[in-house]
């Protein structure tokens, strides 16, 4: 059976040693300045090189995360940086940006690259499509069940990596613009502000919905896949990944230890063919193994999406921060302490003096009431068949702040952290590779020392070195074999400062051999140094910045702007400007009659048929298109089959899986912003897959957009001049979670079709919650974004395709709004007047969004 790799996060040097000492097979950390955790410590090139060396000597792989989108000006400056970085010989890069992946492969074809979860890979079609770029592994979207993971595994030969522990995002990774829309910080650029963890107010059909368990409606619990470990192992998942580069070294120690122990239990069971392994392994871990997972950092642990969709379990809703291990409920408070009725679980929690205890009362308004203190004493008892604990605190703690019914948590433990701290500070915990040594020689000939890994045969030259030392001299007296062995072992076992530990020593020397300590020490040092170099040998990567620059030049040459015939009066291209309107309700179609537009895209909710609306669009004289879903997962090809059956004039493609399925269909395709194209190298590849036009990622501001247009054909770019920006797109249904007790469809009774839900954020702005045909939610920003100010410059750059996206507007509003934009695009209405009129039409006003945001988040550190 497959023995999966255990992959741990590293944000500091202490975290590296913590992960390695506690059982990691591989670690990952961010490329300085270019990774999805902008708040982590930036390492220098020297740091990166030394950390790779440290890990490789101990048999641990190193993956460098460069998992953000790269803008055009940046990618042109990256070849030299990448050449230097690849020269450090990492095991692999974790990449989100398609253009960056291609650039790395151009600089060094032998460099291994892994497709980040930020690429939103959720089907075998998507995984296999990116294989052609050169990816050898895909980090799957976290929203997949084990059944879906198994389906993907059966249909691809790429390695698969799956998240097993840590924070979950409410949004599909790579599809979240929440931080950008609400705070000007892009998650696709490593600056996530965790806006999903903030409290929100919910309005249903215009009235506020007050529920203490829905205040933090989008803050997910944390993932713990220990109960699913055996299943993932049976599926054949190659890598099990832990989230947490912003966590502590103690957290890394606890998680590494628990999962390594669990994997060893499973491996032993598999070896013995023990039938009990089908029941999972979590029960065989001790409370000492499991408690740290909750106490050090937890918002409540569950299996996430691995067991399938369960909207009620995924989000607690009453809090969003670390709460730790749930102890129980307060049943009595007196002048000396608090009595808590314990949660019913197989092993009661451990409570130590000094532990942090949090008490909390949940309520919709005002904010939940909290208090807490350090524990002085805990006394367990059983009263009337109920397990209880009496908690006592220091005199400074005001017990009057604790009341009946409050929930109690253990959210800190200095004693526990102290023990975990030792695993990466105490040298006795350091990981060492067991080695065998053979000391041999003849009198008058050089003394020889051979060293090899204990797990390898001595004859394995890839892991064996032999060094020669001084000429072996004879002793005046014969030495007993045991004494000779003791002398040699004393000097040769001094390996504490190295990556090794002596496992077996073989002596092949004459009885009268003379072994000076200094000679043996020198021989040992030379052997270890040679063994280090042997173990550090790596495949030849031969990175070349020149090859990278040549690749970018070829991309720019093949995709550069093809100017149309200029208008004699203005000097700008006079290509026909195509206007496409995206509708989300069939009744919006008739409002388009007689308007000066060209195409209509249908993007309907669950259960709405497309055949009749398609015919209505044709009767109005427009081309009809159908949008794919934002996400494509296993067993969801029915939606693609509908497109293939109806054969519209074009399809709006929103994910790589749908692109793979439609590329040979003969249906013209337009790529949407969710494909995250931000540079010419990604544009070039996506267009080569059969897209006729492509909308750039919404991570670009206007400066970055026009930087891109310098190196691509503007006629291949489509831009939405009007759109309700999507904050996030989620497998989790907030409708079902807040308004029903349903775990999934159909238990929710499709509540989203019965009510309109708006979300009020911390700034007092309202946003619209919508569902799609697979019950996934999108939160749309209440103020639509208008790019009308950019229209003259876009026209000058040969951009001739413009899109106008509707949400739930009534037909009368649709007609007025589209007419304003079409007049501006056709040059019949000046831009300022059009913007003014468009703003009047919007319920919550009009926004310029991030397109005109030129600020750069300051909490970023330049690396190297």
| Residue 123 is assigned to a structural domain of this protein | yes
| Low pLDDT (below 70) residues in the chain | 1, 35-41, 179-188, 190-191, 193, 269-283, 346-348, 364-366, 456-462, 559-575, 843-845, 848-850, 853-864
CB 653 within 8 A of CB 662: yes
- Regarding whether 439 and 422 lie in a shared domain, the answer is no
Taking the C-alpha atoms of residue 317 and residue 295, their distance in angstroms, rounded to an integer, is 20
Backbone angles phi, psi at 377, to 5 degrees: -155, 145
**Summary mean pLDDT of the chain:** 89
Under the phi-then-psi rule, with left for phi > 0, alpha for psi from -120 to 50, and beta for the rest, what region is 459?
Answer: alpha
DSSP bridge partners of 770:
778
Any domain includes 462: yes
Regarding whether 329 and 254 lie in a shared domain, the answer is no
| pTM over cut 0.75 | yes
Q: Count structural domains, the chain.
A: 4
Q: Are strands 599-602 and 623-627 parallel, antiparallel or unpaired?
A: parallel
| DSSP letter, residue 315 | B
Residue 476, CB-side half-sphere exposure with 13 Å CA sphere:
0
Final residue before a domain boundary, out of 239, 270, 290: 290
Predicted local confidence at residue 83, as pLDDT: 97
251 in any annotated domain: yes
Output the domain CATH number for residue 817: 3.20.20.70
Task: Please tell me what DSSP assigns to residue 125.
Answer: H
Residues 480 and 609 in one domain: no
Kindly state whether residues 278 and 405 are assigned to the same domain: no
Residue 513 sits in the same domain as residue 634: no
C-alpha gyration radius of the chain: 31
What is the reported pLDDT for 38?
55
State the pLDDT at residue 211.
Answer: 82
Do 393 and 329 fall within a single domain? yes
* Structural domain includes residue 856: no
Q: At what angle do helices 13-21 and 45-57 cross, to 10 degrees?
A: 10
Q: Give the residue from 708, 665, 655, 719 showing the smallest Cα distance to 690.
A: 665
Q: Say yes or no: 78 and 9 in one domain.
A: yes
Distance CA 161, CA 87 (A): 25
Read off the pLDDT of residues 46-57 as tens digits, 9 standing for 90 and up.
999 999 999 999
Task: Please tell me the predicted confidence (pLDDT) of residue 345.
Answer: 72
Q: Write 637-641 long-range contacts (CB < 8 A, 24+).
A: 637/661, 639/773, 639/774
User: What is the residue range of 484's domain?
Assistant: 432-536
292 burial type by CB count under 10 A (0-12 exposed, 13-18 middle, 19+ buried): buried
Same domain for 635 and 662: yes
Question: Which H helix or E strand runs over 295?
Answer: helix 287-295
Which residue matches tokens 């069940």? Answer: 145
Looking at residue 364, what is its pLDDT? 61
Angle, CA 725 vertex, CA 720 and CA 730 arms, to 5°: 125
Kindly state whether residues 155 and 254 are assigned to the same domain.
Answer: yes
Q: Are 786 and 838 in contact (CB under 8 A)?
A: yes
The percent of residues in the chain predicted with pLDDT above 70, rounded, is 90
- Structure tokens, 769: 């919650």
* Torsions phi, psi for 734 (to 5 deg): -70, -30
- 418 with 436, same domain: the answer is no
Q: Strand (E) positions, 231-303?
A: 239-242, 301-302
Is 35 a member of any domain? yes
Q: In what order do the strands lie in the sheet with 500-508?
A: 464-471, 446-453, 433-440, 500-508
**Domain co-membership, 485 together with 338:** no
Is residue 177 a part of any domain in this protein? no
DSSP states of 793-812: HHHHTT--EEEEE--S--HH
Query: Which of 427, 451, 484 marks a domain boundary?
Result: 427
Beta bridge partners of 774: none
Question: Are both 420 and 436 inside the same structural domain?
Answer: no
d(CA 451, CA 440): 12
Helix axes 124-131 and 146-153, enclosed angle (nearest 10): 40
Q: How much is the pLDDT for 362?
A: 80
Burial degree of 822 (CB within 10 A; 0-12, 13-18, 19+): buried
Under 8 Å between Cβ of 433 and 455: no
Strand 650-653's sheet: what is its strand order? 691-694, 669-671, 650-653, 623-627, 599-602, 578-583, 801-805, 718-723, 785-786
């Amino acid at each position: 059976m497959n023995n999966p790799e255990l992959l741990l996060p590293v944000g500091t040097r202490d975290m590296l040693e913590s992960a390695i000492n506690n059982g990691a097979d591989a670690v990952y950390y961010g490329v300085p300045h270019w990774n999805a955790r902008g708040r982590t410590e930036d390492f220098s090139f020297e740091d990166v090189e030394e950390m790779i060396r440290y890990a490789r000597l101990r048999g641990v792989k190193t993956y460098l995360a460069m998992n953000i989108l790269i803008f055009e000006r940046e990618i042109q400056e990256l070849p030299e940086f990448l050449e230097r970085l690849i020269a450090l010989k990492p095991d692999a890069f974790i990449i989100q940006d398609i253009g960056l992946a291609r650039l790395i492969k151009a600089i060094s074809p032998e460099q291994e690259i892994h497709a980040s979860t930020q690429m939103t890979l959720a089907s075998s079609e998507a995984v296999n499509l990116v294989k052609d770029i050169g990816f050898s592994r895909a980090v799957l979207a976290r929203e997949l069940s084990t059944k879906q993971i198994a389906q993907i595994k059966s249909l691809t030969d790429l390695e698969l990596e799956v998240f097993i522990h840590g924070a979950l995002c409410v949004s599909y990774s790579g599809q979240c613009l929440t931080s950008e829309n609400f705070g000007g910080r892009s998650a696709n650029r490593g600056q996530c502000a965790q806006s999903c963890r903030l409290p929100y107010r919910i309005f249903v059909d215009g009235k506020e919905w007050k529920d203490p368990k829905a205040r933090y409606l989008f803050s997910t619990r944390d993932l713990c896949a220990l109960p699913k470990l055996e299943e993932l192992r049976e599926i054949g998942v190659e890598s099990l990944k832990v989230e947490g580069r912003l966590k502590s070294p103690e957290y890394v120690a606890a998680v590494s230890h628990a999962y390594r122990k669990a994997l060893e239990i499973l491996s032993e069971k598999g070896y013995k063919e023990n039938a009990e392994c089908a029941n999972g392994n979590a029960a065989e871990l001790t409370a000492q193994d499991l408690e740290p997972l909750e106490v050090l950092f937890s918002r409540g642990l569950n299996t996430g999406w691995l067991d399938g969709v369960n909207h009620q379990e995924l989000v607690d809703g009453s809090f969003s921060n670390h709460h730790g291990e749930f102890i129980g409920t307060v049943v009595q408070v007196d002048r000396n302490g608090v009595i808590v009725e314990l949660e019913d679980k197989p092993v009661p929690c451990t409570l130590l003096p000094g532990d942090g205890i949090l008490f909390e009362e949940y309520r919709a308004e005002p904010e939940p009431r909290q208090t807490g203190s350090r524990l002085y004493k805990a006394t367990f008892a059983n009263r009337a068949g109920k397990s209880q604990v009496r908690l006592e605190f220091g005199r400074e703690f005001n017990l009057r702040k604790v009341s009946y019914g409050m929930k109690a948590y253990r959210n800190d433990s200095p004693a526990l952290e102290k023990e975990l701290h030792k695993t990466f500070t105490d040298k006795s915990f350091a990981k060492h590779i067991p080695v065998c040594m053979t000391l041999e020689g003849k009198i008058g000939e050089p003394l020889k020392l051979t060293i090899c890994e204990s797990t390898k045969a001595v004859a394995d030259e890839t892991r064996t070195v032999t060094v020669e030392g001084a000429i072996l001299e004879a002793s005046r007296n014969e030495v007993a074999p045991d004494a000779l062995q003791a002398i040699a072992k004393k000097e040769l076992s001094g390996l504490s400062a190295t990556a090794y530990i002596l496992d077996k020593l073989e002596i092949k020397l004459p009885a009268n051999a003379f072994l000076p300590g200094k000679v043996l020490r020198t021989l040992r040092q030379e052997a270890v140094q040679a063994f280090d170099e042997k173990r550090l040998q790596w495949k030849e990567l031969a990175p070349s910045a020149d090859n990278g620059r040549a690749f970018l030049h070829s991309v720019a040459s093949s995709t550069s702007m093809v100017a149309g015939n200029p208008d004699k009066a203005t000097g700008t291209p006079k290509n026909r400007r195509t206007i496409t309107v995206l509708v989300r309700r069939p009744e919006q179609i008739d409002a388009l009659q007689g308007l000066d537009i060209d195409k209509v895209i249908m993007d309907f909710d669950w259960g709405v048929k497309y055949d009749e609306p398609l015919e209505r669009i044709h009767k109005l004289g427009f081309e009809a298109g159908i949008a794919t879903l934002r996400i494509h997962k296993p067993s969801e090809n029915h939606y693609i089959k509908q497109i293939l059956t109806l054969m519209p004039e074009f399809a709006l493609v929103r994910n790589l899986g749908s692109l793979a399925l439609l590329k040979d269909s003969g249906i013209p395709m337009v790529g949407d912003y969710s494909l995250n194209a931000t540079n010419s190298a990604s544009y070039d590849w996506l267009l080569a897959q059969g897209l006729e036009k492509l909308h750039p990622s919404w991570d670009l501001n206007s400066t970055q957009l026009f930087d891109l247009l310098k190196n691509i054909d503007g006629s291949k770019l489509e831009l939405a001049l009007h759109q309700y920006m999507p904050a996030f797109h989620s497998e989790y249904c907030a409708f079902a979670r807040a308004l029903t007790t349903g775990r999934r469809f159909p238990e929710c009774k499709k509540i989203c079709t019965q009510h309109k839900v708006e979300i009020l954020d911390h700034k007092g702005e309202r946003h619209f919650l919508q569902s799609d045909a697979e019950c996934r939610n999108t939160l749309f920003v209440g103020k639509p974004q208008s790019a009308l100010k950019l229209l003259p410059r876009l026209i000058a750059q040969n951009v001739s395709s413009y899109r106008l996206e509707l949400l739930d507007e009534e037909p009368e509003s649709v007609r007025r709004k589209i007419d304003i934009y079409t007049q501006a695009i056709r040059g019949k209405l000046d831009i300022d007047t059009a913007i003014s009129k468009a703003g009047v039409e919007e319920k919550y006003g009009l926004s310029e969004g991030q397109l005109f945001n030129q600020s750069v988040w300051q909490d970023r550190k330049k690396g190297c």
